[in-house]
Every structure is written in structure tokens, then in C-alpha cells.
Structure 1
Amino acid sequence: MSMPLRPGDPARLGRYELVGRLGEGGMGTVYLGRDSDGGRLVAIKMVRPEFAHEAEFRGRFRSEVNRAKQVPPFSTAEVLDADPDHEPPYLVVEYVDGPSLAVEVREQGPLSGAALQGVAVGIATALTAIHGAEVIHRDLKPGNVLFARGGIKVIDFGIARAFEATSQHTRTDQMVGTVSYMAPERFDPVNGRPVTPAADIFAWGAVVVFAATGRGPFAADSAAGTAMRILTSEPDLAGVPESLRRAVEWALARDPEARPTARELLDLLLAGESPRPAVVTATSAATEIAPVPVKAKRGRTVAVLATAVAVLAATGIGLANRSLPGGSRAATGAPSPSSAAASGEPTSGSAASGRPAPKPSARSLSPLEKLQAIRNGKRKTLIHSVQLDKDLAMESHYTEIEAGDGTGKKSEFALIPAGVDFLFKSLAVSTPDRPVCLGVRLTEESAKLIQSECFAGPGTRFELIPAEKKDDQGRPAYYIYNDSSGYLLWDGDAFYVQEVGDGDPIYTFSFVDRGPLPSPSVS
């Protein structure tokens, strides 16, 4: 239900007429709007002026909106439009006419049975879609989970990064997010690990506890007390049914690397207490693991998730006993990706401690599973320039990056996930006390690719954007992009970074597996 507009509220934003207020938060105001092109009702988030005046924020806002548009709208509020250059900037998403999980629990009490299971599966499905598009939600909480006709919808995903990464107004005690649902690593943004999808998995566990009990798993009398319990105490799971307890324990592991991925979580929820082993086929591996071109990504992911509609229908998971406004009822839980049989990787069970069971090791990894392990920082790789037919090489005595022939350790790197971006760590030049990564050096003439300390900063974080064509060995190829400077290119003498305007860059890169690392690359 919307509230009336207040004096001083705009009457229009772009082509949208504003007809009411839906809410207000620290980052902006959310309005109910009507699209003048067709009369469709939409939700519009207008950014607060103090953020709007930051040029860096606008650039990141644009980037995050583009990523969020790649998320298939099975269990999420679809991102429809945005104008980062408007005064002030705004974002347009699908309007979901249904109560939030926070309101539902407050007014009707905690959920149980099929309704609770449907919420758990619906949110896990949404996170699988969101993470599959290389987006991190960053602010998953009961207020961002809506009961819609047809299932669960998760809103406000992905855009928080634009605020969190740029705002001079966001201090360490004013991080984007709600304390009760923040993962432990979120409380140490300077010395801690970068935010990864594992933070959303922790939030999933906390939200499910709230749905089942009406309180968070680390509830205290103050935000500071809650944060301390998250950092030092075990979660209070009293009232969480046994059917969900093991999944919740696994999701709330203090170590982010010990938590499941969204897909593993979904497999466990759909398989129950004894998930069956995965049956890996070439088709399933290619569907679930292979990166896809930007232009085709949305359609491919939609097709993958569509295959799961029958899976949830067969489980009987639903929200049949929960009434929605106007007398309608929430239908079955949101569609989910296919379970272990089509996951493309072994299913991790959950031990009593909440830790994943060991994965079978008898089967060798497929090329696409190796690529996934490379992107997760588990295997060594060459960074292969497809057009040059050369590999990036780093010599200890030379700061600029060379084009090598792929022989020797000088061309071996490890990818370090940094949120949805990556750092590229040299395995030739790095030492235990001085890790060395690829970085960008800005000069008046150019932005060269050089050696740099491995810290997650604007000059060391790179995005992998899937290209349309693969390399000559059939490996997926990517454009390598730095938010601050542009695409990785070659000028005949050296690698450099530069924006390319409206056209596609010339140079793409693929990742050639060079075997497992002795330990994970993130240290």
C-alpha cells in the first residue's frame, strides 16, 4: 500500500508519473510510479542528493544497474529502467503488490510448514539467479523479501555496491545493510576480506531464522550487541524446524569459505536431509557453469531456471495458508534451478556441524569445472590473449607486463575473487610477505598494466565480461575491464587499459588451466 506524496516530492521522474510513496531509507526514497508509455505501475528508487553529486557514485550506479538487469526475474523484482545522469538519479523496478516478510511475520506471526519451506527455497532461488549474474545483494533482510502472486520476490539487489564502494558519507559504523543480517566479514571492511556472495548466504540463514521464529539468530538489545554476537557467538536456532536446521547451520558458518554456494544450498533444500550425488553430464555442465555472452546471458539463465518449475511443483512447496491483500493467496514457492542431477558439479551434503561433506574426488574435473575453480581462486591459470595468441607474463626485474609464450612460472597467475570482480595474483613474483598482482598505472598519456601490491583498490580490481566468441580451443573468452580506466588492450609493445567508446574492444582473454594451487589463492 502506498502513502500520499509529500510537499516537495517531484511529480515526475523521466517518463514516470509519481502517484505515491512506498518507503524511505538511508539511500533514497521509493515511489510508486506509472509508466506513461503503457500505464504500468512501477517502483522507483530516487537517490538522495548527497550521493547524486558524487561522479564516482554515478559511474558505479550505472555499472551496477547494468549488472542487475542481467538477473532473470523468476524470484526477483525485475530491474526495468534507470537514469544515472538524471538530477537526481533514479532506478525503476517491477512493482510487487504484496506484503514483505517483515510485515507478514509481525502481523501474522512466524511461518511454519510449507509456507516456511517455500520462503527458504524462494529466497535461495533468487540468490542463485542473482549470483549467477555475478551480482551480490549486500542487503538481504525480511523487508526485502516480498510475498507476490506466484511466490517469493527478492528486491533491492545489487545496487548497494554503488553506495558502499563510493560514498564518503558511509563510515564503518554506517555500512550499507542491516546489522542483524550482516555476515561477520562485513564488520571489518578495511582489514577483512572483500564482500563475496557468501555474505548473502549468511543473510539467507538469518532471514530464515527470523521467518521461523520472529527474531534473528543473534538478537541482542542493541545493534552493537548484535554485531558482537555475530562475531563471537553461536546462532540461536531454537524454533527452527529440523528440516531446515542443517541448511541454516551451514549458511551461518562464521568462515565465508565454509558456507555453501546458493546452488549448493538450493540442492540441499530440494533434496532434503540426504541429497543424492550429482550426475554430471556434458550438457548439464555446459548449461550451469559456462559463462555466456552479455547479450545472451539473461536468456540463457532464464532457460536454466525455467527447467526447475516442475521440480518445485512436484515437491509441493508452497505458501497456501498465507493470505495476501485482496483475498488472494501466495502460490507455490518460486521456481528453482534444477537440483543435483543438473548442477554440473558434485553436491555437497551438510554434516551435523553445518560444514559441507567432502566432495568425491574420483572423477576428474571437466574443462568448465576447471574454469569455475580458476574463478574461485583454486587453480593456477595462464591469462591468454586470444587475438595475440600470447600469454600475460610478469618478470621480477621488470614492472610492466609482457606478452609471453606461456612457458615457465612467469605466466602463471591465480584469480582472487573480490566481490564480483577479481585480482590477478602473479605466482612468479609474489612472495608470502609480498603478494604481487596486476595493476593500472595512470600517466598523462596512458594507463599501463604493471606490477602492483595485491590490495583490492580501484587500480587492481578487474571485471570479466563474457565475449561472444570463444578462443581457438573452445574456451570461454572475456573482455577484462577496470572500472576506473577501461578495457585491457595491446598497442604492439605493451598492455594498457583504456575506454573504447560504444564499440566492442578488440582484445579478449581466456584462462588456461595449469593445475591445482597448493592452497586457495585468497590468504
Structure 2
Amino acid sequence: MRPEPLRPHDPVRLGSYELLGRLGEGGMGTVFLARTAAGTQVAVKVVRADLSPDDEFRRRFRSEVARARQVPPFCTAEVLDADPDAEHPYLVVEYVDGPTLAEVVDDRGPLTAANLHSVAIGVATALTAIHGAGVIHRDLKPRNVLLAPGTPKVIDFGIARAVDGGATGNTAPEFMMGTVAYMAPERFGDAEVPLTAAADIFAWGGVVMYAGTGRTPFGGDSPLATAGRILTQEPDLSGLADPLRELVSYALSKDPVDRPSARELLDMLVAGPSRPAATAAALAGQPDLRVAASQAQSVTGLLTAPAVEEPTVQVSAVPGLVEPDPGTPRRRWFLPAAIALLVLAVIAGTMMIVFGPPAQHVAGPGETPPASASPTVAPLPAGPALITDDLGEDRLWLAKTEPDGKSSCVFTGGELHVKIDGKPLYKCRGPQDTLPDDIDIDVSLRLLTEGGCAAVWYHFKLPHGGQLVRVCQDNIFVGMHQSADVSVTRTLPLDDPIQVGGPPVRIGLRVAGDVVTVSRDGVVLGDAPLGPAKITGNRVLLGVFLDRDTPDTGSAEVAFDRIEVRGPGTPGPR
């Protein structure tokens, strides 16, 4: 981004910063190139004069700057300083000396395959870092991706739209023209629905499509036409080759709960089984990008946190997680109503920006007294097999070792071994299949260390969480896992404790309606109610969990040697 000269009425200093030129202008203010007292060049974003007197704006600006400063600088422009209380509030970020993605594509045409994959990885890395800090970008587009030496850099996250557009008019039609093509369908619907990180994933799909083809996936002759296509049509991905085409299609799902998280995208981009050649080409000669992606994966663990819509960020006891956000209920878009709202917005010359209500905490760990149950033979799994894996090698579940070496999923001795050291939990990357609500899960497992519990998540969706069953030596805990909170709805004591290092035990979970039935080696142990309906996913994951009485600094290992998932239907053989 090359600066333009200062204008006659522009300030020449802000605090300790000397302003050198203009880098651009946006809905919230003007961005200046500046120099620190030490001579370092930085970018200073100054709030528009008409917003400065607004106390509500200053409150939002202050809280969102605080969150943005927690974003690690993995493919992002680092937030360095801010003064929300100045006469003209401002934010100071790292100056990135490079063209925008929009400028490169406009001037030179679409990116080559390797460069395109690099940009896809870089932006996914940035979103992993941003979402992991509890921030939503809200205006991801090619102009906000800078192609800097070393790694792409995402800018303007978190405070890109810090004011309610309906109240202030800072989303006028000229703002829509450059942004609507990257807006997720839910942003044209019910204004009471909180904005989630899934909207950024949709924008990622549009950005990658533009970078690879020079056009957007829902291009129309006007913002209204484009929005109509976003709401009602499938994306036009012609010209975009696999493997990116597959991931872009996934990211552009109409329903936000069907999109991957940023961390899932990053994992699939750098380690997907069908992408080794593309990944190698993208990262060849780019050690900075490789390191940034690896660090983002390490910092965020396997759960990317949803954005928090109110000022306070609470750091969870689980490393890499920010709490809380129970997620958005699964819902389908009422397209006629959404389009009608959009027409009114265009006529009025504004777009509503969604700020959801405060996120609600999930209740902390607790238990209900176990009800007595007479052991009976568990019913046979129903319907055809949806997932079957002997877990002896990379197939549906994948091996992975974190960079610090303290968490891993490895195949050894015909089993999937899951280990943690100094962390409370770890999940293995499994299939992306969207499963029915009612399913039967049959898994064979062993406990290999004292204090280690085998964990099975179901109805799972990042970043919202899922239902959770923990199989420990003396008890099976049934409950849910949302954000950083694990709650227990039923404890099923084991009359015959599971022997550490002993033979495998077979755990069955029959999920039907609002109840899960748990069995061990074909004998029913009891029923438990499912957690709140805000759990909206349909994936199954395997992993390890430290027992509640074991310090989080401990270590644990479990093993799985077979899993079968069946859907509803005619009973079938085990």
C-alpha cells in the first residue's frame, strides 16, 4: 500500500506519532502512514470526526481494540497501540509494505495455482488466529488482504465495523458495492441473530474464488442482484480447480453451521490427504508462511473459539480457547423475508450490522444423581453403516502430532493412540461427514494410563461444541462440551472398573430424540438426556480427556481400535 500526500486539513501528529501520508479511507475513518519516535513506520487508523462524540461508539471501540490486541500476529497486521480516549480516537497497527490482493488481481490477473494456495493458507491462518482470540473480522475482502513479503497479511479485523450501521449510516451504498459480494446469507436476514465467525468463513470462500478467477462466486450487476444470488443460488465456481474448489464450496454453504471453522479449513489446506502436492507447492520457499500456519494450529488447539460480542474476554482454563458463546441455533433462511429486508436496506441506503446479545455461559460441571437401571441387552445398531473404520492407519481418522510434541494422534499396533501432556483434552481429526441426528455409535477402546478417559464427541460442530461421553476407569460421564465448559447430565458408575492397560471394552451410544443410551459390551448401563438444543452439529470425534480428579498438568493416553456409526433404519448386525 503506497501512501498519498497529506491533505491540508489532515493532522501532522497524533500522540507520539508523526503522520507521513494517507494510506486509505474507509467507513470508520482514515488510515495514515506514520512514524514512531524510534523511526519505525506504522499505520494509524483515525476515527471519523462525526463518530468521536458518540459515547456508545467509544465504548465499542475501546472493547474491540482490547480484543484485537490479543490476536497473535500469524498472517495478520499486529495491533501495536491505541488511544480510544483521544479527541479523535485512533488505532496503531503494523505497517505492511505490499499491494492488496485486489490490486494484484486487477493489475495482473488471477493468481497462479501455487500462489493461490498460499493466499488460501495465509488467510485461513489469519482467521484461525483472529477467531481464536474471540474476534470476528466482519469485513474480509481482497482489499483487506495484503501480499507482503513472507506471508499474506489480513488487516482491518475486529474493528472493521465497530458501529451499528442502522444507527450511524456508516454502511452507505458505496460501502455495500465493495463488500456485499463477500457477505454471508445470514447477514441479510434476521437482525436479532448474532453474527458469528462463520460469516468470515463465507468471505474466505469469496476471497479465494476472486483470487483464483478474478470474479466473485455470486457476481451480479448490482449489490441487490448479488445479494439475491447469495441468498437463492449456488455459487458459480467455474474456473477454480480442485482441491481449492472443494473447500471453497464447503465454505460457501448457505447455512453457517454447515461451514468449517477457520482451524478446520487450515488443517484441510495444509494436511488434507488429497492435497500434498498443492500444499508442497504453496509452501515451497515460504518458511514464514509454513511457520505461521503451524503456530496458529498450535496456539488454537483443535477448538477455534467463537467471537464474543460483548466487551469482556474471559480466558478459559483450556489453552487456546476463549469463552463463552453457546453457538447459533440451526436454522434455515427464510429467503423471501431476507430479500425484502435487503430491498428496504438498499432503498434506505444502509445495511444493518448485526451485534448479537451477550453470550451466555454454559453451566459448569455438575451431576444429577444416577438413576437405577436394570442391565439389559442393548438393542442392535439401526440402519446401514455410515462410518466404519478399524483405526489401524490413516483413513477416516488422521494421524497428527502438535509442534510441541505434547499432544498427538498416532497409529501404532493396529490402534489409534491419543496422548496429551499438560493439557486437559485433545481430539483427533476425523471425517467431515454430516450425520443424522439419531445415530448408533459402537467404539472399541482401551485406557492406557491412570487418570485418562477416552472421549467420544457426537452432534459436534466447531466452534460451538457437542455432546460428550467420557469413559473413565470407574465411571462414564455423559454431558456436553461447549466452548471451554464441560457439563455432566448423568454419571454412570461402573460396577466392574475398566482395567488400565487391559483388553478393549466396547462402548455403545444410541442417540434417539433427546436421549442417549449408553452400553458396555452389549449391556445397557443407563439413559441420559442430551444437553441444550444449541448443540447443532452432526460430527463424531474421538479423543482423550483428563479425569476431573487429575491435574491439568498431567498426562494421559487412550487407544481406539474400531468405530462404527449407523443411522436410523432397519436393525442391522453388529
Aligned equivalents of 2:462 and 2:116: distance in 1? 36
Give the secondary structure class of the aligned counterpart of 2:168: coil
User: Quick one: which of 347, 356, 368 aligns to 2:429?
Assistant: 347
Deviations 1:15-38 (A, max 9, x none): 1000000001121100000012x1
Deviations 1:377-424 (A, max 9, x none): 6459xxxxxxxxxxxxxxxxxxxxxxxxxxxxxxx9997x9xx9x9xx
Counting matched residue pairs gives 351
User: Are 2:199 and 1:199 equivalent residues in the alignment?
Assistant: yes
Asked whether the 8 Å contact 1:247–1:350 carries over to 2, the reply is: no
Query: Following superposition of structure 1 onto structure 2, how do residues 186-335 of structure 1 map, counting pairs within 5 Å?
Result: 186-191=187-192, 193-274=193-274, 287-289=301-303
**Aligned equivalent of 1:179:** 180
Tell me by how many angstroms 1:100 deviates: 0.7
Give the secondary structure class of the aligned counterpart of 1:33: strand
Deviations 1:35-89 (A, max 9, x none): 12x1110001101122221101111111111111111102100000011111111
Change (3 A) 1:19 1:184: same
Change (3 A) 1:295 1:197: closer
Change (3 A) 1:340 1:200: farther
Deviations 1:466-509 (A, max 9, x none): xxxxxxxxxxxxxxxxxxxxxxxxxxxxxxxxxxxxxxxxxxxx
**Aligned equivalent of 2:149:** 149
Q: What residue ranges of structure 2 are gaps of 5+ in the alignment?
A: 277-297, 306-311, 322-401, 410-419, 446-451, 469-478, 490-527, 538-574
Change (3 A) 1:203 1:287: closer
Amino acid at match of 2:427: E
Deviations 1:329-386 (A, max 9, x none): xxxxxxxx969959943435557xxx6999995479878979x989826459xxxxxx
Query: Following superposition of structure 1 onto structure 2, how do residues 123-522 of structure 1 map, counting pairs within 5 Å?
Result: 123-164=123-164, 167-170=167-170, 178-191=179-192, 193-274=193-274, 287-289=301-303, 344-347=426-429, 349=431, 362=443, 376=464, 378-379=466-467, 516-517=530-531, 519-521=533-535
Deviations 1:80-139 (A, max 9, x none): 001111111111000000011000111111012210110001100111111111111001
Tell me by how many angstroms 1:168 deviates: 3.0
Tell me by how many angstroms 1:147 deviates: 0.9
Aligned equivalents of 1:340 and 1:239: distance in 2? 38
Aligned equivalents of 1:286 and 1:101: distance in 2? 26
Change (3 A) 1:377 1:168: farther
Aligned equivalents of 2:462 and 2:103: distance in 1? 42
**Aligned equivalent of 1:112:** 112
**Aligned equivalent of 1:504:** none
Aligned equivalents of 1:49 and 1:373: distance in 2? 42
Structure with higher helix content: 1
Of structures 1 and 2, the larger Rg is shown by: 2
Aligned equivalents of 1:172 and 1:189: distance in 2? 19
Structure with higher strand content: 2
Change (3 A) 1:237 1:58: same
Asked whether the 8 Å contact 1:285–1:369 carries over to 2, the reply is: no
Asked whether the 8 Å contact 1:243–1:272 carries over to 2, the reply is: no
Aligned equivalents of 2:180 and 2:300: distance in 1? 38
Give the secondary structure class of the aligned counterpart of 2:34: strand
Aligned identity (percent) is: 51
**Aligned equivalent of 2:42:** 42
Tell me by how many angstroms 1:170 deviates: 4.4
- The normalised TM-score by structure 1 is 0.58
**Aligned equivalent of 1:503:** none
Give the secondary structure class of the aligned counterpart of 1:50: coil
Aligned equivalents of 2:85 and 2:239: distance in 1? 48
- The normalised TM-score by structure 2 is 0.53
Q: What residue ranges of structure 1 are gaps of 5+ in the alignment?
A: 277-283, 303-336, 381-411, 428-513
Aligned equivalents of 1:153 and 1:50: distance in 2? 30
User: Are 2:68 and 1:68 equivalent residues in the alignment?
Assistant: yes
Change (3 A) 1:263 1:15: same
**Aligned equivalent of 1:79:** 79
**Aligned equivalent of 2:471:** none
Aligned equivalents of 1:24 and 1:118: distance in 2? 28
Asked whether the 8 Å contact 1:378–1:519 carries over to 2, the reply is: no
Aligned equivalents of 2:304 and 2:110: distance in 1? 39
**Aligned equivalent of 2:7:** 6
